[in-house]
Amino acid sequence: MINKEIAILLSTYNGADYIEDQINSIIYQTNSNWILYIRDDGSTDKTIEIIQKYQKLYSNIILLKSDLINLGAKDSFLWLLKNIESDYFMFCDQDDVWLPNKIDFSFSELLKIESNLTHIPALVYTDLVVVNENLEIISKSMWDYSRSIRIMMPEKYLFVTPLVTGCTMIFNNQAKQSALNFIKNAIMHDALVALAVLICNGRIKAIHKQTIYYRQHKKNVLGAVEFNGSILKKFGNLRKIIIDNYLYFRFVSTYEKKLTLFNYLLLKTEVALKLRAII
């Protein structure tokens, strides 16, 4: 295994209920060649106190100082991405639990890409186990739970729907540098990196293997959504669906000039039909 450090980027905000589980799952990884960089986004609970306890025990756990207090999840993760230098990067949420070989497995898959395609942006992401707040399994596969497994390929569907879950990603420095050029109108940090790799003719690899317990609870910013084909439910959420799609189209079309609104809607229709197994 190549001996290069992996920067794990963790943004926290009032995560005292679950942060110890997450940090412990990183400490007990089969791969120990990592540094955990943590930026707190203005917590008012005991999150910082818990992190400081670990920081005293482990030299590779670093709580960073930031003059900016509350940026929100996207911009807090982007602050980390801009300010941390490394050969490889992983995003980390405060409330999940990583399976013991997550880093080893993901890193080895990324190195396979780099062995054939050097000096290009590269990203690997995986499936997740959906669990409740007590880590009881809701679904053994989020990709099956949401039916997103049906639209993982071809990669063109990333142009119309965010498929890459940030907390499962590992990517190289070339992917980071590409992402920093694509920040305008970014929706979320993970969608930004994935689309930057795609637009820059990099390599994205989706692996239907679960590497994480994806905890669902009342404070989730984003979470696992079970597929529901109800037209009535979608009609009830029509305003939100329109706004979300407009923002996503605006972001992607800023950089992918060939993606017209007409093409976007065609791809979106194709995705909807695939999710319903019509095509």
Cα Rg for the chain, rounded, in angstroms?
18
* Cβ neighbours of 185 (radius 10 Å): 15
CA distance 131 to 139: 7
Residue 56 exposure: Cα atoms within 13 Å on the Cβ side: 5
Rounded mean pLDDT for each run of 10 residues along the chain, 279 residues in total: 80 96 98 96 95 96 86 94 96 97 97 89 96 94 89 83 93 96 91 94 94 82 54 63 90 90 92 77
Task: Compute the residue count for the chain.
Answer: 279
Question: Which residue has tokens 């979300």?
Answer: 244
pLDDT digits (tens, 9 = 90+) for 83-141: 999 999 999 999 999 999 999 999 999 999 999 887 899 999 999 999 999 999 999 99
Nearest CA-CA partner of 161 in 269, 20, 33: 269
- The structure's pTM equals 0.89
Q: What confidence score (pLDDT) does residue 97 get?
A: 97
Domains of the chain, each with CATH number or no CATH: 6-275 (3.90.550.10)
